[in-house]
Amino acid sequence: MARYLSLLVSFYLFGCNLNSEQLVNIDKYTFDEIKFNAVSKNLSFDNLDIDTNTDVNIAKKVIQNWFDSKIKTDGLEGKLNVVVDPIKIKKTKYDEYYKFEINLSMKFSEINKILNSERVYKVNSIEFGEIKGSFTIKDQDNLNINIIRKSLDNIGKKLISIN
């Protein structure tokens, strides 16, 4: 009897999962590699001590992953310092409306002591997205991640154009 009951419950859960419709899926961004004339690189978050805001923590993880995989160094001398200014996130939620906005500002400093030069790039991106109608918490989370990635993609494109 217990086997039949567990089988029936698993079919019910599987059927509910099939009927639920995901409004927002995670977008696949193919970020461009950005190369700097440096030997080492360092990422730091300005004024972001231990933060209890889960959205900021998710943004920090996405930024760290982007930095590790897409910011490349190809020089013989120098250092690249990247500072992320405080991440500003604004969420608006009503019964059938959700909006997520991120203001992301980053400063890239290429320092070469042998050539006695420093190049500084300050790049800013403000992106937002919204959902209207009936949506789930998973849809909200997916929208948040998509907007964070869209903001990083925008920063990457700006860096490529000026670098």
CA gap 121, 110 in Å, rounded: 9
CB neighbours (10 Å) of residue 110? 20
Q: What is the pLDDT of residue 81?
A: 95
Give the three-class secondary structure for 132: strand
The one-letter amino acid code at 133 reads G
Q: Name the nearest CA neighbour of 153 among 104, 81, 97.
A: 104
Residue 137's contacts (CB-CB under 8 Å, 6 or more residues apart) are none
Calculate mean pLDDT across residues 61-90.
91
Query: Is a pLDDT exceeding 60 seen at residue 12?
Result: no
Encode pLDDT of 84-117 as tens digits: 998 999 999 988 899 999 999 999 999 988 778 8
